[in-house]
């Protein structure tokens, strides 16, 4: 069986998509998925994102933000957008993707907030992304992701974006 390719996309490839990429790479250990992430206007990875992932022993400090446009000629089995801003653009740029999935996560507001508050918001973001990803890519059996439209372990359907391709 060949590896499935997955790309996580958000606006800047600085927090949400590196967190998601970090989780799947950590769970997958390179066996079932080729994992990438990108942003519409990539910037540096956010230090708070690195810090909260490090709390779970996942190191994303070496993440190099990438532009969505550098992948325009690539095929992905899963195109996963983590904010509404990236959804329409990703569907246009990566037209050849097999499955498009969207969930809009709000990035923490760093400016004007105390470090403790920002860290709590990043932990909240990290934990919500993790919970959502566990429904799509069950850690126990990553190959179950082929059944993405089946109910999850709680009996809830996994919802694809309205632009999903089958």
Task: Give the residues across from 5 on adjacent strands.
Answer: 34
Q: How far apart are CA 65 and CA 53, in angstroms?
A: 16
Average pLDDT rounded to a whole number, residues 110-138: 92
Report how far residue 32's alpha carbon sits from residue 4's, in angstroms, rounded to the nearest whole number: 6
Residue 111 or residue 120, greater confidence = 120
What is the mean pLDDT of the segment spanning 144-151? 42
Give the pLDDT confidence score for residue 126 in this predicted structure: 98
The CA angle 160-89-103, to the nearest 5 degrees, is 30
- Give SS3 for 72: coil
What's the pLDDT at 141?
A: 38
pLDDT for residue 147 is more than 50 = no
Residue 1, pLDDT > 70, answer no
> Who contacts 127 (Cβ-Cβ below 8 Å, separation ≥6)?
none
pLDDT beyond 80 at 105: yes
* Residue 138 reports pLDDT greater than 80: no
Looking at 3.40.50.1220, 3.10.110.10, 1.10.340.30, 3.40.50.2300, the CATH number of the domain 4-147 comes to: 3.40.50.2300
Span 84-96, mean pLDDT? 94
Whole-structure pTM value: 0.82
Can you tell me the distance from the alpha carbon of 160 to that of 141, in angstroms, rounded to the nearest whole number? 20
């Amino acid at each position: 069986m060949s590896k499935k390719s997955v790309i996580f996309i958000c606006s800047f490839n600085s927090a949400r998509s590196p967190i998601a990429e970090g989780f799947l790479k950590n769970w997958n250990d390179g066996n079932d998925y080729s994992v990438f992430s990108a942003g519409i206007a990539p910037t540096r990875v956010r230090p708070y994102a690195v810090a909260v992932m490090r709390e779970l022993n996942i190191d994303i400090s070496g993440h190099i933000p990438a532009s969505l446009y550098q992948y325009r000629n690539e095929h992905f089995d899963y195109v996963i957008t983590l904010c509404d801003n990236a959804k329409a653009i990703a569907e246009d740029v990566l037209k050849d993707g097999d499955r498009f999935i969207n969930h809009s996560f709000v990035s923490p507001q760093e400016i004007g907030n105390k470090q403790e508050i920002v860290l709590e918001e990043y932990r909240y973001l990290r934990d919500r992304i993790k919970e959502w990803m566990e429904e799509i890519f069950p850690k126990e059996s990553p190959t179950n992701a082929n059944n993405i439209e089946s109910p999850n372990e709680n009996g809830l359907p996994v919802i694809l974006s309205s632009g999903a391709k089958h």
